A and B are shown apart, each in its own frame.
Chain A
Amino acid sequence: GQNIDQPTEMTATEGAIVQINCTYQTSGFNGLFWYQQHAGEAPTFLSYNVLDGLEEKGRFSSFLSRSKGYSYLLLKELQMKDSASYLCAVRDRGTGGFKTIFGAGTRLFVKA
């Protein structure tokens, strides 16, 4: 089956760095995404990893280790507007095509 685990909530301070972890189990792994979702709004694409290593995009970086079934999203120089849910999602390739399986999300609270 497929399973994605990430912490339910995290709190961090403005200007700091926070790391949100995600572990996954899937039979047809074909890439991992991170999305940001503000309350009541649509998710927005942040990053994509398919090979092991770190992908950096401005204040956001995402890391993947396929052998460990592990990823993290690193947010630097936190801003109040970064308070949102961060969704880890795995693209799974099966006989029925590609499916994107989302984790339950990590709610990040940024405090002053």
Chain B
Amino acid sequence: DSGVTQTPKHLITATGQRVTLRCSPRSGDLSVYWYQQSLDQGLQFLIHYYNGEERAKGNILERFSAQQFPDLHSELNLSSLELGDSALYFCASSVEGTGYEQYFGPGTRLTVT
């Protein structure tokens, strides 16, 4: 158990819908990172927040957005869902803001039908 929690574990929804994935970092960690992992693309970096502020953006679609709240938990919002958005979404946390030694949560498996 890494200490990072993610909810829900599984999510099944239809195309065009909107979902919110939630992540709580390890106690004391200020950084939250979001990743998408699909079978054909490996682990793709989406976005990084540090202490409530956006620090870095990867290949995140405009239909996706995220935020980190004052209590340091983070949410990833996915809208206008497409079949290709079906994937495992991981969040990770670390103490500092440079990406060193990230602890990954168990992931949310999103299935878009």
Contact = CB atoms under 8 A, between A and B. Distances in A.
Interface size class of B (residues with CB under 8 A): 20 to 34
Contacts of B45: 99-102
Contact of B97 (A48, A98, A101): A98
Contacts of B44: 102
Contacts of B106: 41-42
Interface in A75-106: 87, 89, 91, 96-105
B24 to A, nearest CB: 14
In terms of DSSP, what is the predominant structure of the interface of chain A? strand
Contact of B56 (A33, A89, A99, A104): A99
Contacts of A99: 45, 48, 56, 58, 99
Nearest to B50: A97
B56 A43 contact: no
Interface string B7-37: 0000000000000000000000000010100
Contact of B102 (A96, A100, A101): A100
Nearest to A45: B101
A99 B54 CA distance: 12
A7 interface: no
A42 B33 contact: no
Interface residues of A, number: 22
B48 A97 contact: yes
Nearest to B88: A40
Interface centre among A31, A42, A45 (most CB of B within 10 A): A42
Contacts of A97: 48, 55-56, 97
B42 A31 contact: no
A21 interface: no
A30 to B, nearest CB: 7
12 contacts: A45-B101, A48-B101, A91-B99, A91-B100, A96-B57, A97-B48, A98-B55, A98-B98, A100-B102, A101-B45, A102-B44, A105-B43
